[in-house]
Amino acid sequence: MLSDEEIDIAKSRTNYNLESPHHEHGDCIRIAYEWLDAQKRTKNKTSRGYALKHLIEAWAGRYVSQSDVSVAAELHPSIHGKYPFLNISARLTEPSISRLEEMKEAFKHSNYREDHDPTDYKTHE
């Protein structure tokens, strides 16, 4: 699991596409990291942006900011690009819920989980 120190260092080096980044909790970055980690990588970043943050929120049942996803992408050793143009396959993988077991903030906003739709994903862990 990512440490608070690793997250703080990544926040300082992330090139945000927003003027003022927003982070509510370190677990939001950890959640985004786990979601990104489950995805298949491509050689090049996508030229079509996806609303990844909304998919991540629905999967984890918790608000996640665009800034959180940007930091998670910065932290991940094999994810490249700038949100939302990352090197992940358009054939999305639904991550296993077991990835969220140690995150106290997961499922904190149950209304987000209501939007989760497994058919948004081509494969499942």
| DSSP states of 35-64 | HHHHSPB-SS--SS---HHHHHHHHHTS--
Would the pLDDT of 17 be above 90? no
C-alpha to C-alpha distance for 104 and 108, rounded to whole angstroms: 8
Would the pLDDT of 87 be above 80? yes
pLDDT in tens, 22-74: 999 999 999 999 999 999 999 988 777 778 999 999 999 999 999 999 999 99
Q: Which residues contact 26 (CB under 8 A, 6 or more apart)?
A: 2, 4, 7
Domain boundaries of the chain, sorted by first residue: 4-14+29-124
The mean predicted confidence, pLDDT, of the chain is 93
Residue 91, pLDDT score: 93
Question: Do residues 94 and 124 lie in contact, with contact meaning Cβ atoms separated by under 8 Å?
Answer: yes
